[in-house]
Amino acid sequence: MKQVSLKIVNITKIFKDFKNNEIRAVDNISFEIIPGEFVTLLGPSGCGKTTTLRMIAGFEKPTEGKIFINDINVVEIPPWKRDIAMVFQSYGLFPHMSVGENIAYGLKMRKIQKEESQKKVKEILRIVGLEGFEDRPPSSLSGGQQQRIALARALVIEPSVLLFDEPLSNLDALLREQMRIEIKRIQKEVGITAIYVTHDRTEALTLSDKIVLMKDGKIEQIGNPEDVYEKPVNKFVGEFMGKIFFFPIQVLDILEKETLVRLKDRVYKIPSLPTDKADNYVLGCRTEALKISSDGPIEGKIKTIVYLGESSEYYIDTEYGEIMIRVLSPFDKNLSEGKSVKIDLVPEIAKIIPD
């Protein structure tokens, strides 16, 4: 498998509406993808994910900027010459052709011999886990199977880059989970460079080597899943990647490797430094960075306990709003609904974020 790198350099896409007003769909973004990497463009609806993907595919021309595939600027190269395949939300299979003919279609266009083509179809069906499905009509397949055929059809022409635009949104929750794992397995087995668009953070966390988190046409943060989840650079990223609670703090001192902060009457040593200069900071705590503790500085009252078997979720009213803390079973039966509790932080995994 040929593995390519991509470099997106300062691309901007401006659309015009009927009155010639500018719509800045993508606003001066840059990121790089190393060969064989799985990169996700993640962000809320309308943030410019699809537009970015379409510019990489060549369906849309950037208003400004460059797109390099292996150091060649492809901005002026038409889509069919970019050696890229794309998988969409709708599978787009031809209903009157068999599964085998659907997959072989791109090979036929490329004038590949029948024997060679049949061999490739067989091999790709094995990779997507649908060996022996050649003669089935697409309509007889389940949604997940159809999506695998769409993936097989994209892969069989051996493109250099595989693009996905929300490919799993039409599937039910369970199937989506299975296909997520399948897509990752197949991408790693084939070794292809992939870009995946989604607004689903769980999908991004499970699939990606690297996440590019976007908002309003701009990039908020680039990093591996752990970084983006554990070290959000701002409140938006923190909230987009999962449950997080913010506490107002005073930064007392920034040392070489740690920051001294004050929350109420308590001083904490946070083993990281603020990433950005700001007038005010908050402490961002995921639920795992909070614990019920008799000498914690935050006072609260247990509102609801949700029992989940291996753990329970405690919803606690505090002066900072409702906080959720997860407690592993077996839990202290004295901590019942209506009881007052104190809450402390786990400073090691709390994060200083500009307010």
Ligand X SMILES: Nc1ncnc2c1ncn2[C@@H]1O[C@H](COP(=O)(O)OP(=O)(O)OP(=O)(O)O)[C@@H](O)[C@H]1O
Nearest-CB residue to Mg ion?
Answer: 50
- Cα 219 from Cα 6, distance rounded (Å): 17
User: Is residue 52 within the footprint of Mg ion (CB under 5 A)?
Assistant: no
Residue bearing tokens 């959000």: 232
User: Is residue 23 within the footprint of ligand X (CB under 6 A)?
Assistant: yes
**Structure tokens belonging to residue 36:** 């064989």
Pick what 48 binds: ligand X, Mg ion, none; C-beta below 5 to 8 Å, kind-dependent.
ligand X
Asked if residues 341 and 301 have their Cβ atoms less than 8 Å apart, the reply is yes
Evaluate the omega torsion of the peptide bond into residue 330 and state whether it is cis, within 30 degrees of 0: yes
**Structure tokens belonging to residue 182:** 């399948």
Q: Report, in Å, the least distance between residue 194 CB and ligand X.
A: 17
Considering the complex, state which of residue 60 and residue 230 has its C-beta at the smaller distance from Mg ion.
Answer: 60
Residue among 49, 176, 215, 351 that touches ligand X (CB under 6 A): 49
Pick what 51 binds: Mg ion, ligand X, none; C-beta below 5 to 8 Å, kind-dependent.
ligand X
Considering the complex, state which of residue 41 and residue 69 has its C-beta at the smaller distance from ligand X.
Answer: 41
Considering the complex, state which of residue 84 and residue 213 has its C-beta at the smaller distance from ligand X.
Answer: 213
Q: Report, in Å, the least distance between residue 15 CB and ligand X.
A: 3
C-alpha angle 269-274-279 in degrees, rounded to nearest 5? 110
Query: CA torsion angle for 251, 253, 258, 264 (degrees, to 10)?
Result: -40
User: Is residue 48 within the footprint of ligand X (CB under 6 A)?
Assistant: yes
* Contact positions with ligand X (CB under 6 A) in 53-72: none
Considering the complex, state which of residue 46 and residue 79 has its C-beta at the smaller distance from ligand X.
Answer: 46
CB atoms within 10 A of CB 167: 26
Pick what 47 binds: Mg ion, ligand X, none; C-beta below 5 to 8 Å, kind-dependent.
ligand X
Residue 256 burial (CB < 10 Å; 0-12/13-18/19+)?
A: exposed
User: Is residue 46 within the footprint of ligand X (CB under 6 A)?
Assistant: yes
Considering the complex, state which of residue 219 and residue 283 has its C-beta at the smaller distance from Mg ion.
Answer: 219
Residue bearing tokens 């709003």: 321
Residue among 1, 10, 15, 271 that touches ligand X (CB under 6 A): 15
Residue among 37, 42, 51, 302 that touches ligand X (CB under 6 A): 51
- N residues, the chain: 355
User: Is residue 47 within the footprint of ligand X (CB under 6 A)?
Assistant: yes
Pick what 286 binds: Mg ion, ligand X, none; C-beta below 5 to 8 Å, kind-dependent.
none
User: Is residue 25 within the footprint of ligand X (CB under 6 A)?
Assistant: yes
Closest CA to 161 of 131, 192, 140, 138: 192
Q: Which stretch binds ligand X (CB under 6 A): 47-55, 105-113, 303-311, 320-328?
A: 47-55
User: Is residue 117 within the footprint of Mg ion (CB under 5 A)?
Assistant: no
- Cα 318 from Cα 341, distance rounded (Å): 10
In what helix (H) or strand (E) does residue 24 lie, and over which residues does it extend? Answer: strand 22-33
Considering the complex, state which of residue 57 and residue 298 has its C-beta at the smaller distance from ligand X.
Answer: 57
Task: Identify the three-state secondary structure at position 308.
Answer: coil
In what helix (H) or strand (E) does residue 342 lie, and over which residues does it extend? Answer: strand 340-345
What are the distances in angstroms from CA 327 to CA 103, 202, 289, 307, 348?
50, 22, 12, 10, 18
| Number of residues located near ligand X, criterion CB under 6 A | 12
* Contact positions with ligand X (CB under 6 A) in 187-226: 199
Largest CA distance in the chain: 77
User: Is residue 50 within the footprint of ligand X (CB under 6 A)?
Assistant: yes
Considering the complex, state which of residue 51 and residue 234 has its C-beta at the smaller distance from ligand X.
Answer: 51
Considering the complex, state which of residue 50 and residue 146 has its C-beta at the smaller distance from Mg ion.
Answer: 50
Pick what 199 binds: Mg ion, ligand X, none; C-beta below 5 to 8 Å, kind-dependent.
ligand X
Across-strand partners of 214? 219
Residue 291 burial (CB < 10 Å; 0-12/13-18/19+)?
A: middle
User: Is residue 50 within the footprint of Mg ion (CB under 5 A)?
Assistant: yes
**Residues in touch with ligand X (CB under 6 A):** 15, 23, 25, 43, 45-51, 199
**Residues in touch with Mg ion (CB under 5 A):** 50
